[in-house]
Amino acid sequence: MKDFRCLVGLKHPPQRVAAGVRDMMDQVAPALDQVEKIAAVTRVDRPDGGCALVNEWRVSPTLPATLNGLVTPDMLGWLDHAEWSSDLALCTWRIEPYFMAQAINCHGTTRFEPAMGGRGTRAVFEGKLDIDPAAMSTIPMAWRSPASLAVEMLIGTIIPQNFRKTVNAVAELLETQPTSTP
């Protein structure tokens, strides 16, 4: 199991940043490296103010040449299942990748905490990646190492990097909006 963590400080209040991360993903996709699009698939607003949201991410990373033919463009993406608390302080998520879905368990939390005397946000993105060795055994021996490399690159590198870029892109969008919006 591999743990990953990313911490980002922003100069906007936590509820504004969290609402932006929840609601502006389609607008920030162009600012993210190797991300073609992010689109909401489903959204269920809860009576208590929370929200269940599924976003589809489509990516176009540069893959090692050894993966040509094994990984096709339709495999390069994932569903991001997110459950948002009513106060927007916590988002619990899990990622359902299109590539090697049976072998990958990736889940975590994102917290939006007050910083800078309440004027800013500390966004904490934490997750765990577990690759099931039994599921990997279904992949031909010659492809196991490149497949593991692709999974680790996709989840262990692209996702945390894009979290940082995502919240920074949201912060830039918030600069253009009136502060009365959450």
Domain boundaries, the chain: 2-175
| Distance (Å, whole) CA 78 – CA 87 | 26
Closest CA to 25 of 49, 55, 52: 55
Q: Which fold has domain 2-175?
A: Alpha-D-Glucose-1,6-Bisphosphate; Chain A, domain 4 (3.30.530)
Dihedral sign of CA atoms 53, 32, 29, 116 in order: positive
Q: Given pLDDT bands bounded at 50, 70 and 90, which one contains residue 8?
A: very high
- Average pLDDT score over residue span 93-108: 88
Res 181: pLDDT:
44
The pLDDT of residue 9 is 95
Q: Which residue has the tokens 């269920």?
A: 44
Tens digits of residue pLDDT in 10-55: 999 999 999 999 999 999 998 888 888 999 999 999 999 999 999 9
Residue 151: what pLDDT?
A: 65
CA–CA gap between residue 129 and residue 145 (Å, rounded): 17
**What's the rounded mean pLDDT across residues 134-152?**
69
- Name residues whose C-beta falls within 8 Å of residue 63's C-beta, 6 or more positions apart in sequence: 71, 150, 153
- Least confident range from 59-63, 101-105, 122-126: namely 59-63
Q: How many Å apart are CA 171 and CA 17, to the nearest integer?
A: 7
Which two three-digit tokens encode residue 159? 């996702």
pTM of the model: 0.83
In sign, the C-alpha dihedral spanning 22, 161, 113, 97 is positive
Distance CA 167, CA 178 (A): 18
pLDDT grade for 84, boundaries at 50, 70 and 90: very high
Separation of alpha carbons 92 and 107, rounded Å: 8
